[in-house]
Structures are given as structure tokens and as C-alpha cells.
A and B are shown apart, each in its own frame.
Chain A
Amino acid sequence: MDKRRKSIDKFVASKSSNRIIMLFTGLDCSKVTISSNKVCTIRISLALVFTMFTCQLAHAVKQVNGLTVYTVAIDKEYEPYEFINEENGVDGFTPALLREIGKLAGVSFEFKPMTWSEAINKLDSKEVDLISMIYTPKRAQLYEFSLPHSKISQALFCNSEVMNIKDIASLAGHKVGFQHDDFMYPNLANRKDFSKLIFLSKLDGFIHLNNGLVDAFFCAHQSGVNIISTYKLKNVKLVLGNLYPQQFAFATYRGNKELITLINRQILTMKANGKLTELQGIWLSKHIHQPNWFERNELFLATLVGIVLGLVLLLLLWNRSLHLRVASKTKILQDSEEQFRQLTETIQEVFWITDVAKKQMLYISPAYETICGVPIETLYNDPRSWLNFVHQEDRERIANAAYTKQKTGGYDEKYRIVRPDGEIRWIHEKAFPVKNKVGEVYRIVGVAEDFTSIKKIKLKLIEQNTLNEAIINSQKNVIIFALDKNYCYTTFSQSHVQEMKAAWNVDIKVGMNMLECMTIYELRKKAKSSIDRTLCGESFTEIQHQPTTNTYYELSWNPTIQNHAIIGVTSFVQNITERKLSEEKIKRSEEILRTVLDNSPIGIWLLESTGKMVFVNKEYCRAVGISEERFLEVPHYSELYTKDVAETCKESDIETLEFSGLSRTTEHLILADGKLHDLEITKVRISDETIGVKGLIGISRDITESNLAEAKERTSHQRFRLLLDATEQGIFGVDNNGNCTFANKACIQKLGYDTENDLLGKHIHTLIHHTRPDGTNYPANDCRAYKSLLDKTGKHVEDEFFWRKDGTSFPVEYWSRSIFQDNAITGAVITFYDITQRKKTEAFKTLSSDILSILNSNVGLKEMIEMVLKSIQQLTGYSAIGMRLKVGDDYPYFVQRGFSSEFLSTENSIVALDKEGDICRDNDGNPILECTCGLVISGKTNKTNPLYTKSGSFVTNNSLSGLDFSPDKDPRIGARDKCIYLQYASYAIIPIKANDQIIGTLQLNDKNKDAFTEDSINFFESICMNIGTTLMRKHSEQKLILANKELLLHNEERIKRSAELILAKELALQNEEKAKYAAELMIVNAELAKQNEEKEKRSTELSIANKELQQYAYIASHDLQEPLRTVSNYMKVFEEDYFDQLDANGRKYLMSVNRATMRMSILIKALLDFSRLGQNSSRSIVDCNVLIDEVLADLDTMLKTKQANIHVDELPTLNVYETELRQVFQNLLTNAVKFQKKGVLPEIKISCDKTGDKWKFAVSDNGIGIAPIHYERIFEIFKRLHNNESEYQGSGIGLANCKKIIQLHQGEIWLESKLGEGTTFYFTIKNWEE
């Protein structure tokens, strides 16, 4: 198998855990050959899925053939401890060990491969019994651990391009990966100097590491090594191995000691007999993954080829070098001089040779001209002429040196020359003597180099340094020093020298290690960590205390950066001792203040204008029961209060802040102790002008105690006051001088005053009692109420008036009682009632009896009525009174008092007249009567209108409102408004009835508003009844005398009446019977309702069951779809990757599988559609002719191909489920065309007629026909009469759909058929009424 393919497989196998996957890119899979192995793998994994599914419900421990089986979770990728091998089997050290243990102990272990986190979860839920786990004390609290079976250690791996990771300490600044849940992570979690990335699996980590996304990765040593070799990760190397050796053991959930004991016993046995060591040897001593046979062959081949190639190469090289050596010898000799010349002429340095004996220049390179600016000929002429150009100051030194040292050797001088153009150049010259065989110096060779540019830079540097130093030292207050990466000084200011001397008694120098100067270990450690931080690139400021000199320093650390690299640190130090000390002083005084404030019994707080608490003392916190922290953390303190308290507080805050600047309020609040307290709260506005902040100081004092006594008194007074104010009686008190001491609410109200203050202290008699009922003056001395003060007796008075503030009066009944205090009279209390109403009622009573006696007297009618009206007017004082009585068609005033002649001239007659002066009549021939009077007489009053009473009277207490009616809304007929124009503010019109006929009215008009009350109108209505009766009596008296016949008639009438009465009784009896029936009916109804309820309940249950069934179909088809999709997906993958490599048979099989999956998918979808039928659809009016036309249009292509002839009868228009019905026709027509004999053209007929309340459709064809035994079957789902390979294909759900749709239409579907002749499908559907 191809190597590449193998790694893909591994990758695919490993992808199944939950973690990040960076997919390999650029894999070429085209050369892979197909093998049965893959198919086999698919089968195995399917079986595995099945097993896992079936095992899920079972409990972890089970019995198989009497053998106890424990479930073990195996990490899929923890090679070599446990993993999935290439045959998809569980392999590794722990499975091997467990298998051995199982053999020894007679139990069996079932291995379940999964990811580590899954394994832990499953162990927690006891779905598995056992997993392998590194022992830690923390884990030991959660799980039961076995004896360790091996050791496991961690290792640090890093990307091979990362050079500077050597140990854990050098991880700083790098990206380091950890495996999720790995034990290393918590160990290094507090290291903040490198960034950490967590991977959900080792492999992910390694892939990231290999790709350089992380610099280093921690992993179990063995596993890491395995992964590197398995996946051939080229860019990963092991840096540190055998880190943190740990005990590796088995773990189970707590309480499962039995299993642990079993394992421990076997581990001990295996330790004793060496089996454990043997297993460890097999699995754990291999550090490198064993390459497979192919890889081994490759290696072998490579080595072999390498050796052969090497030999050939060596031979070739040897041959070539021999040849070359001969050639070069000759060439060197020939070219040496020329080469030398070329060399010297191209170099920048001046190269020269002199002949010692001849004192002659043998050679000087041309560079001399460029450096000295003089032609070389001058030097050939005079070999010492160069000394002329040497700088004056250097000339003598150089001349001596040249003379002495050149011959002896060791001439190495630096000097300046001055060129003819005046430029100064720096020369570094060296010369060596060349000796002949006898040891004489015969040549001197020299090299001179121009280093002017370097010298210039150096000079500049010195200048810069001096400048820097000057700058550094000029800052007297700031101490500056710089260190290199080894904590050694590179520079520092003079002030730092002094400080170091003072602090540590050290004279510092450049290059000295600063840390070594510090003799206190803690300080040194602290300084080191600060420098280390800065060296990591951080800039920060810190404060340090130097205990030896008690000095505070503020150090600002900065990395020194050169060429993007940190080469050291620079620190700017400021002595802040003074600032620090003053800060501490302030802090101390703040603390004192704080203590004082906290111990104050008064609540004190301070807040900013935003409502943010700045300070709150303990007392206030205690009182309100809110902690200081809460107060200080919320943006507005009122958030901590209840809504209404918060509102009050905010209001007073704003008031104080914005306006008054000072406020004092008393609040009643329920405090933390649950009791109501009185708090006197003072708020003072403060402003800090320097920072422009406004705020409030609040002081709260608990004044509950002091208020308590006061409150008690107040309460009793209040109670008394409440009592007084609650009474209906008016009550007031007077002192000995007759001045008011108090007045209750009723009193103030009754007397027409606004507040008690209007009366308090005033002489009450002059205010309310100044005049007698008859209008004469009532002196105070005669006042009977006042007299009770003098004679110590109570007084009861009923015949006096009190006067209101507005000058009106009312009759009163009052009691006056004197008040004794310490045996002396201190005043009196007067209690009174307003007895206006009582007086009025009394008056009406008198009037009523007067009028009755008048009506019963024997005077003439007119005189009698006149007397009645007179007594009414006398009592009531109404401005005008009149009585209308019927005369012909009109109702003129029979008697009237007080109406002006102007009024009467127009109002006496109320009959409506037309233009010709004739009487207008309505449809019944009755004369039309105008205005309100006419309306009342006609009896056409609207009882719901408040202007009319139940008895049909009209009453207004404010006639002007009558003008507000628009003409069409006016309840009157032909309104005349005369009463209104003559300013009768109140008037009433009361009908007078005789024998239920309105024969006239009593009209009462008054110029005052509110002249009538309900009582008075009732009274007048009863008067009118009496008047009516009297009128009738008078009338009948006359009639009695005149006609006896009429009396007889009356008698008959009476008999008739009594007959009617009997009839009425009968009716009542029948009514009773009906009521009884009704009661029975109600019981029956209740029963029916109950049954209905039951039915409804059942139908609800049914609809729930239906819904559940649909849901079930959904879920079932979803669950069926899923594995099917997996199959078809893999088929597609397979086709894409391997199709080219298949032979014809292989391709055929593949296509068959594809077809089958496709068909399965269609079937499932069909099932889904079937389950959805009728859901969420609604009926509509459908013209079946149109529907069929549309269906035929849809099937057009098929119909044309088959040359089908279709006949459609006239079809009805129905209220049905349109979409569903369309489907029925579509299915039936498709079937009719599809199941056709070869060579016969389809003849299809659609017809319809009404049978009963249903419509019966028929679709007939001349097709192959159906045998009777299939008549029922074909409507079942997926039942087909022809197999797939036959000429008649289909999903087998069409007719099942039809049946379901017809059932939805409350109809039936059936068929008649003759084999070979044709089939007719019938169905009935309901037409819903709209």
C-alpha cells in the first residue's frame, strides 16, 4: 500500500476526536490502488457503531457466559500506552496488561476506544469501569487508583527552527502548546512570560508545532516520540525528556474497590514473576516507531546505493586531483608574479617592499596615490619622502620608529598624514623584516592602511559619550543608570554613584554587576526580577524602599534596544522619599479622621454630584444595613434603596445641589433593624473649586427617641381630631369670651368656610349667629348657646338659624355644653345639625295633607285647583305655577299664578299650527303639541334622558343648558324656549293622569337655579296623581248622576277584568311549569356539556397522538436519512478517489450501490411526504375543470410521448384541499398512462357525478388491469405489483398518498378492473359548505 495513502488513513482514523484539525493540504491520492482492506474497514466500523449503539443502554459491568466483563475506556491516540492500530483494533501496553490480568483473574475486559475527555466523562457517569490515568493526589480524591503499572514522564518538544529553547526556563517569550487536560499545564499555569495554547489532542499540538504555529509543545515522552515518527514530523525535535516522572495506574470510579483489589493482586503477581517487566519491555522500551517492511527496504536500498555512489565518487575525485596537481604546479610558477601584482593593485591598503642594502623602494602599490594624493614616482625617487607628509606632531616619533623597528620587526604604528590638499588622514602601518638564508635582513615589507573613517567615528563616539554623560549628570534630581543583559553597568549618572555609595557603600564602575553591589537578598531578588521583566521587553515604573537609608525611589525601567534587539536596560530613578513621607502623613491623618467618623453616633456620608458615594461611615452603614463596599461600588447610591426612598433622596439631593445648598428634612424610614425610625437628615453642598467637583455631605441623626413622646401626644390629639372630623355634626368650641377654640370639618363646611383658621380666635356669635330667623338683630348677650357658659347647664335649641360666610342662613338644631377644667368653666362646645332638609320635609308633609284636604272638599274644580296652587306657591316660593288641562285639542292653562301676560300670550296654546292656521296632526291623527309641555303631554319622553323622570315629568335645575342642544338633538318638539328667555332657571312640568291618560300638566317655574330636588319632584308627582284622581272623581260623579248604563258597562268591565285576572293566574301557573321544565333542561344541558367536554378531551388526546405520530414519522425518517447519507457520502468519496482504478465490474457494482442508496433516499423522502399530508393545509374553492387542465399541462410531455387520448367530462366547483386533490389526479393519471399495454395508445376518461352529499369521481383507462386480489393491497404504502427492473417503475407510495388524501376529504377510494382490459379508479369526496 502506498505510503502516502497510509498516512491519510491514519489521519482519517484520528480525526474522530473532538479537537482542532488542520487538514493536510496538497495530498495526492490518485495513485492509490483499491484493496479489499478498505471495504473491510467500513464493515468493521459499521459493526462497531452498531455495537456501541446497543451497548449504550446496558450497565457498564455485565456478565457474558458467566464471565464478568468490565468496560475499559481506551484513549485512541496514546501510543504506545493505548491506541487504535492499523487493523482498527485496540493495542498498546495497557490493553495488553489488562488482557493478561483478565486471563489470570478469570474476568474479561471490553475496550472502548474514545478520546481522553470522553473517557473521563464516561467514567464519571459510570458508563465505563476503568481507564488508565496518571496518579495525582487530587485525582485520588475523585477516583480509586490501582497500584502503578508503569512510569510515565513528560517531554518538551520544539520546532527545529527555534534555537534558543533549551529548558523550561528558556521558554520565555515563546508560544507554548499544551494538551487539553494535560498534567503539565497546571504546573506551568503561573508562568506568565510565555503564551500558552491548548490543544484538544496531542496530534493537533504536534501538527501546529510542525507547522511552526507554536514554538514548543509539552507531551508525554513516549507518545510524543511515537507521534513524531509515525507522522514523520520533520520540523519537530525533542528538547527535554523524562520530565516529571509520574506513576501511571488504572483508575475506576469511587466505591469500586472490588475491581481495584482484583487488578492490584494480579499486578503484584506479574511483578513477582517478571511478566510486568516483560510487557513494559515489549511496549515501552521502543523509543522509535518501528518502520514497516517497506520503509526498512527503502532504508536498506538507500544505504546500499549510497555506498556504491560514494565509492564511484571517490575514484573520480582521486583521478581528477592527480591531474590537477601537475597542471597547477606549472601554472603557479608562471602566474605567481602576475597574480601578486594584480592582488596588490586591487587592494585598498598600501603594500610596499624596500631593499635594505640599496635603500631603494622596490615596489609600492598604487593605493599610495589615492591615500597620500602624491604620485608613486616620488617615492621611487626618494624612499623617505613619505615622512614629509606625516603630521608634524607624529613625524619625529614615526621617523625614529621607522629607523629602529622596521629592521628588527614589530613596527606597528598609527600616525596622521597631511595630504597636499590639506586633508588629514589616519594611517596604520605595519612592517616586517625579510631575512635571507644567512639571517640578514635584506628586504622590508610593509602594509599601510587608511583608517580615517573609523577614527572619525571613534572621535564622534567619544564626543557623544561625553555629551551623554553631561546630559546624564545634568539631571541632578534624576538618577540614571544603564545595565547590559548580565546586570553589569554600561553607564550611570554621578548621582547614582552617590546613591550607591550611600546605600551599599560601594564605588560603582562600568562593568560592575549591579546585583552584586546589593547586600540585602530580598532587594537583590526584587531588582533582578524587575531587570528580567525589562529584558523581556516590558517598560514599567515601580516604587522601592531602601531600608538602609530609609529612602523611597521611583524607578522607571526601560529596555535598551539596538537593532530591534534588547541589549540591556535603562533605569530612571527619582528619590521620592519626601513625597512618600508626606503621603503617609496625609494617610495617617485620614485614618484618624476616619476613626473619628466611623465611631460617630451620627451617620455621615459624602457623595459626588453624580450620586456616587465617596465616603460613608460605619454608623450610617449600620443604620441602613448596607455595607460600605456596596455603597462605594454602585454608581448611584440610591440603587440600593427601595424605589420610593430612592426617589425622595434623589429629589432632595438635586434640590440641595442645584438650589438651596443646605437642606434639613425629617424622614420616616424603616431601617435595618426593621423598625420605623425618624431620621433628621442634613445635606450640605460642598464644592472643591480646584477640581470643579460638586458634592454633598450628608448627616443623619436618629431622632426617633425624642420624637416618640411628642408623637404620642400628637397621636392622641390626632385621634381626637379624626373623631371630630369624622362626625356629620358640626362641632366647635368657644372660650370664656365666646371666641372660637376649634371647629371640626363638618362645622367649617356647613358654615361655608375654607379652613379652621377662618374661625379660630374669632368671636363666633358675631360671625354665625348675629341675626334671628325673623331678620332682627340677635345680641350676643341673649345668645342661648353662650348662656350655657354662664349657668353651667346644657342647652338644646331647635328654632334658630346659623349664618354662612356668604350671607345665607340655614335652620339649625344645636346643643351647647360648658367645659369644666379644675372646677372652673373654661369654655363651651357647641354641636349642631343643619336641619334645612328636615324642615322642608316637614313643610311638604304639611302641604300634602293640606292639598289632600282641599281635594277632598266639596268646592268647585277651578276654586279647588286655585287653592292647591296657592298653597304650593306659599310653601315653596316658586316664581310661577300653572296647571294645563285639556280643552278640545289644546291644553291651555286652567289655573296659573305668577306668569306674565307676555308669557301667556304665546304659551297658553301649545298646538302646532301650519301656515294656514290649521292644526298639524301626526299619522295617528293626534294633534302635534309643541315645546316641552307638548312633549310631556304627548308622553313621548325619553326615560333614559336625565331631564325626564320615570313618571314622564320634565325637570331642569339649569334651563340654559337646554340651549346647548343642536336642533336635531333637541328632545323637545318645536322648542319655543320661552321659559329660558324669561329667565326661569329652574322649571318642572309634571303630567296629570286620569285613567292612564295624560289630561294636563302641573308646571312649576322658578327664577333660581336648583329649585328642585328629587324628593320635591316625587312629592309633586304624587300630588299630581291625587289631582288626577280627584279630576276623575269629579268627572265620574257627573257621569254617575247622568248615566246608569255606563255604570252597568263599568260592572261588565269589572267582570271582564276579573276574568282576565283568572286568566292571568292561569298564566302564572303555566309560567311556574315552564320554569320547572327549564330547570330540568338545564340539568340535561349540563350533562350534555359534560359529554361534550369529554369528547373534546378525547379529540385533544387524539390530536396529540396524531401529532406524536407525525413527529415519529419525522424522527424515523430523519434517523433513516442519516446513515443513508453517510453511505452515499462515502460512495461519492469513493467514486471521486477510486473510480479510475476500478474495472468494469467494479464500476457496475458501484453504480448499483449508488442507485440503491438513491432509491432508498427517494423512499424515505416519500415516507416523509406521506406523513406530512394534510398538515398545515386548508380548503379553498376549486374549479375541478381548471385543476385537471393544470394537471394535464404538467404531464404534457409524458402524455404526448405516450400519445394518450384523454376525455374529461364537465366537472364541478368544490370547496376542497386543492394541493392534495391535484396530487390525487396527478397520481391516477400517471398510473393510467404508465401501466399500459405495449402498442396500445392510452384512452383515459375522467367523469364525475353527485351521490348523496358526496361527489364521486371516476378515472378509467384501457391499461393492463389489476387482478382482484390486489384491489386492497395497492393502497398500502410501498406495495408494488411490479419489481424495480420491470418496465413499470415507481416508489409505491402514490396510491397510498391518494388514499390518505381521500380520507382527508372524508371519502373512499376503490377500483374496478379487468385484467388486460383496463381499470377504473373511483373516489368520493366531500364538498364543504362555506
Chain B
Amino acid sequence: MKKKLRTIMLIDDNDDDNFYHQREINKYNQEISIITMETAMDALKYFKTLKEYNSLVPDLIFLDINMPCMDGWEFLQEYNNLDNELLSTAVIIMLTTSNNPDDIRKTTGWNFVADFSTKPLTKEKLEGIIKKFLLD
């Protein structure tokens, strides 16, 4: 089931990347809400309190792998452990620096991870992803 894209969450410890990615997303569509999480912990907290605070539910998540404290893989582990009710139906895309074959292989182990993409995210890449996984 594809769905309409309203909200994108960026999980990345790199401010500059987040800034650039926001710009590219805005180039694509300015009406998309962007939630930026600088640590995977914050993102996790966000999902856990989603219901309580009536927060926006992201439709698309770009997840960096290499992050301090909790990396992208650990985040996926925790995200998977969330209650079913809490599990958002977001499309997750791993967005990282290198296309390390080990990482790409690891990605296939998670069924809710839709794809693997390298930084920087560009308007064109985003268009491709939306066309592939979401309705817009």
C-alpha cells in the first residue's frame, strides 16, 4: 500500500547534511513537514511518545547509519521492538555516506527498510524514492 507523503523524518547527527537535505526536500515540495532528529535516541523517544503528544507521524524516514551513541542498526533493532501500535507505517530508507557492501547486505535483513541510498540526498533521488515507495 502506497500512501501520500506529508511528513519526512531525518535521523542524522550531521547538522549540515540535515540542512542540505531539508533544502532538497523543499525543492521537491515545500508543503512537506520535516522532522529532524539528531540522535537515534531522540527519534526513538519521539516514536514512543507519538500518541501521547499527538505528534506528526512520519511517512518517510531517512536513517543515517554512522551515528554516535546509538547507530542506525541499533535504532532499527529498537524500532522493531516498539509496540505494534506504536510502529509507524513509515517507509525507511538508509541514507549514508559510503555504499559499503556489508551495509547494503545488512539492510536486506530488515523487512521494513525499503532501500539504501547514498548521501547527499538530492531532489532527483527523492523523486525516485517517492515514485518507488510512496504516492504523491
Which residues of A are found within 8 Å of B100, using beta-carbon distances?
1114, 1118
Interface: A1125 (CB within 8 A): yes
Greatest chain B CB density within 10 A among A23, A117, A197 is at: A23
Interface: A17 (CB within 8 A): yes
Interface: B83 (CB within 8 A): no
Interface: A528 (CB within 8 A): no
Given contacts A23-B30, A25-B31, are A1121 and B98 in contact (CB under 8 A)? yes
Establish whether residues B54 and A197, one from each chain, have CB atoms under 8 Å apart when the complex forms.
yes
Interface: A838 (CB within 8 A): no
Establish whether residues B19 and A12, one from each chain, have CB atoms under 8 Å apart when the complex forms.
yes
Chain A residues numbered 1103-1147 whose CB sits less than 8 Å from any CB in chain B? 1114, 1117-1118, 1121-1122, 1125-1126, 1128-1130, 1132-1133
Given contacts A1114-B98, A1125-B120, A1176-B101, are A23 and B14 in contact (CB under 8 A)? no
Which residues of B are found within 8 Å of A18, using beta-carbon distances?
36-39, 42
State the Cβ distance, B60 to closest chain A Cβ, in Å.
15
Given contacts A20-B35, A20-B56, A197-B54, are A25 and B26 in contact (CB under 8 A)? yes
Given contacts A19-B36, A1121-B98, are A1126 and B31 in contact (CB under 8 A)? no
Q: Please tell me which one of the listed residues A25, A200, A1121, A1130 contacts residue B97 in the complex, with CB atoms under 8 A apart.
A: A1121
Establish whether residues A1126 and B16, one from each chain, have CB atoms under 8 Å apart when the complex forms.
yes
Establish whether residues B16 and A1130, one from each chain, have CB atoms under 8 Å apart when the complex forms.
yes
Q: What range describes how many residues of B lie at the interface?
A: 20 to 34
Establish whether residues B119 and A1133, one from each chain, have CB atoms under 8 Å apart when the complex forms.
no
Bound state CA distance, A15 and B26, in angstroms? 15
Given contacts A15-B18, A1129-B17, A1130-B20, are A26 and B66 in contact (CB under 8 A)? no
Chain B residues numbered 93-117 whose CB sits less than 8 Å from any CB in chain A? 97-98, 100-101
Which residues of B are found within 8 Å of A826, using beta-carbon distances?
none
Establish whether residues B33 and A22, one from each chain, have CB atoms under 8 Å apart when the complex forms.
yes
Interface: B89 (CB within 8 A): no
Which residues of A are found within 8 Å of B119, using beta-carbon distances?
1125
Interface: A1168 (CB within 8 A): yes
Which residues of A are found within 8 Å of B20, using beta-carbon distances?
1126, 1129-1130, 1132-1133
Which residues of B are found within 8 Å of A117, using beta-carbon distances?
42
Bound state CA distance, A688 and B21, in angstroms? 67
Chain B residues numbered 20-47 whose CB sits less than 8 Å from any CB in chain A? 20, 22-23, 26, 30-31, 33-39, 42
Bound state CA distance, A403 and B133, in angstroms? 90
Establish whether residues A1118 and B97, one from each chain, have CB atoms under 8 Å apart when the complex forms.
yes
Q: Please tell me which one of the listed residues A23, A197, A1122, A1133 contacts residue B55 in the complex, with CB atoms under 8 A apart.
A: A197
Closest chain B residue to A18, Cβ basis: B38
Establish whether residues A1129 and B120, one from each chain, have CB atoms under 8 Å apart when the complex forms.
yes
Establish whether residues B98 and A1168, one from each chain, have CB atoms under 8 Å apart when the complex forms.
yes
Which residues of B are found within 8 Å of A15, using beta-carbon distances?
15, 18-19, 22, 36
Interface: A16 (CB within 8 A): yes
Bound state CA distance, A21 and B46, in angstroms? 14
Establish whether residues B14 and A21, one from each chain, have CB atoms under 8 Å apart when the complex forms.
no
Interface: B49 (CB within 8 A): yes
Interface: A196 (CB within 8 A): yes
Given contacts A18-B36, A18-B39, A1117-B98, are A23 and B15 in contact (CB under 8 A)? no
Establish whether residues B42 and A200, one from each chain, have CB atoms under 8 Å apart when the complex forms.
yes
Bound state CA distance, A1176 and B34, in angstroms? 40
Greatest chain A CB density within 10 A among B18, B26, B42, B119 is at: B42
Interface: A195 (CB within 8 A): yes
Bound state CA distance, A25 and B28, in angstroms? 12
Closest chain A residue to B96, Cβ basis: A1118
The contact string, 1 if C-beta is below 8 Å from chain A, for chain B 73-107, is 00000000000000000000000011011000000
Interface: A198 (CB within 8 A): yes
Establish whether residues B15 and A16, one from each chain, have CB atoms under 8 Å apart when the complex forms.
yes
Which residues of A are found within 8 Å of B31, using beta-carbon distances?
25
Which residues of B are found within 8 Å of A1125, using beta-carbon distances?
17, 97, 119-120
Which residues of B are found within 8 Å of A21, using beta-carbon distances?
22, 34-36
Closest chain B residue to A1129, Cβ basis: B20
The contact string, 1 if C-beta is below 8 Å from chain B, for chain A 1-25, is 0000000000010011111111101
Closest chain B residue to A1172, Cβ basis: B101
Establish whether residues B26 and A198, one from each chain, have CB atoms under 8 Å apart when the complex forms.
no
Which residues of B are found within 8 Å of A1168, using beta-carbon distances?
98
The contact string, 1 if C-beta is below 8 Å from chain B, for chain A 1171-1202, is 00000100000000000000000000000000
Bound state CA distance, A1117 and B118, in angstroms? 14
Greatest chain B CB density within 10 A among A18, A21, A1126 is at: A18
State the Cβ distance, B116 to closest chain A Cβ, in Å.
14
State the Cβ distance, A208 to closest chain B Cβ, in Å.
11
Closest chain A residue to B21, Cβ basis: A1129
State the Cβ distance, A24 to closest chain B Cβ, in Å.
9
Given contacts A200-B42, A1129-B20, are A23 and B34 in contact (CB under 8 A)? yes
Establish whether residues B53 and A197, one from each chain, have CB atoms under 8 Å apart when the complex forms.
yes
Which residues of A are found within 8 Å of B120, using beta-carbon distances?
1125, 1128-1129
Which residues of A are found within 8 Å of B101, using beta-carbon distances?
1176
Closest chain A residue to B23, Cβ basis: A1133
Bound state CA distance, A596 and B9, in angstroms? 62
Bound state CA distance, A705 and B81, in angstroms? 52
Bound state CA distance, A19 and B46, in angstroms? 9
State the Cβ distance, A595 to closest chain B Cβ, in Å.
41
Bound state CA distance, A756 and B16, in angstroms? 93
Greatest chain A CB density within 10 A among B34, B53, B98 is at: B98
State the Cβ distance, B58 to closest chain A Cβ, in Å.
11
Given contacts A18-B38, A23-B22, are A1129 and B53 in contact (CB under 8 A)? no
Closest chain A residue to B20, Cβ basis: A1129
Establish whether residues B56 and A1118, one from each chain, have CB atoms under 8 Å apart when the complex forms.
no
Establish whether residues B14 and A1122, one from each chain, have CB atoms under 8 Å apart when the complex forms.
yes
Bound state CA distance, A436 and B53, in angstroms? 77
Bound state CA distance, A763 and B6, in angstroms? 99
Which residues of B are found within 8 Å of A1122, using beta-carbon distances?
14, 97
Bound state CA distance, A340 and B119, in angstroms? 81
Which residues of A are found within 8 Å of B19, using beta-carbon distances?
12, 15
Bound state CA distance, A296 and B114, in angstroms? 53
State the Cβ distance, B107 to closest chain A Cβ, in Å.
16
State the Cβ distance, A1010 to closest chain B Cβ, in Å.
66
Bound state CA distance, A1114 and B14, in angstroms? 19
Establish whether residues B53 and A196, one from each chain, have CB atoms under 8 Å apart when the complex forms.
yes
Bound state CA distance, A1125 and B24, in angstroms? 14
Establish whether residues A17 and B38, one from each chain, have CB atoms under 8 Å apart when the complex forms.
yes
Closest chain B residue to A22, Cβ basis: B33
Which residues of B are found within 8 Å of A16, using beta-carbon distances?
15, 38
Establish whether residues B18 and A26, one from each chain, have CB atoms under 8 Å apart when the complex forms.
no
State the Cβ distance, B95 to closest chain A Cβ, in Å.
12
Establish whether residues B18 and A198, one from each chain, have CB atoms under 8 Å apart when the complex forms.
no
Bound state CA distance, A1176 and B100, in angstroms? 13
Closest chain B residue to A196, Cβ basis: B53
The contact string, 1 if C-beta is below 8 Å from chain B, for chain A 177-207, is 0000000000000000001111010000000
Which residues of A are found within 8 Å of B23, using beta-carbon distances?
1133
Which residues of B are found within 8 Å of A198, using beta-carbon distances?
49, 53, 55
Which residues of B are found within 8 Å of A1114, using beta-carbon distances?
98, 100
Q: List 30 A-B contacts (CB under 8 A).
A: A12-B19, A15-B19, A16-B15, A17-B38, A18-B37, A18-B39, A18-B42, A20-B36, A21-B22, A22-B33, A23-B26, A23-B30, A25-B31, A117-B42, A196-B53, A198-B49, A198-B53, A1114-B100, A1117-B98, A1118-B66, A1121-B97, A1122-B14, A1125-B17, A1125-B119, A1129-B17, A1129-B120, A1130-B16, A1132-B20, A1133-B20, A1176-B101
8 closest A-B pairs (Cβ-Cβ)?
A: A18-B38, A1129-B20, A25-B30, A1126-B16, A16-B15, A198-B53, A18-B42, A1118-B98
Which B residues have a C-beta under 8 Å from some C-beta of A?
14-20, 22-23, 26, 30-31, 33-39, 42, 49, 53-56, 66, 97-98, 100-101, 119-120
Known A21-B22, A197-B53; further 19 A-B contacts with Cβ < 8 A? A15-B18, A15-B19, A15-B22, A16-B38, A17-B38, A18-B37, A18-B39, A21-B34, A21-B36, A25-B31, A195-B54, A198-B49, A1118-B100, A1122-B97, A1125-B97, A1125-B119, A1126-B16, A1128-B120, A1133-B20
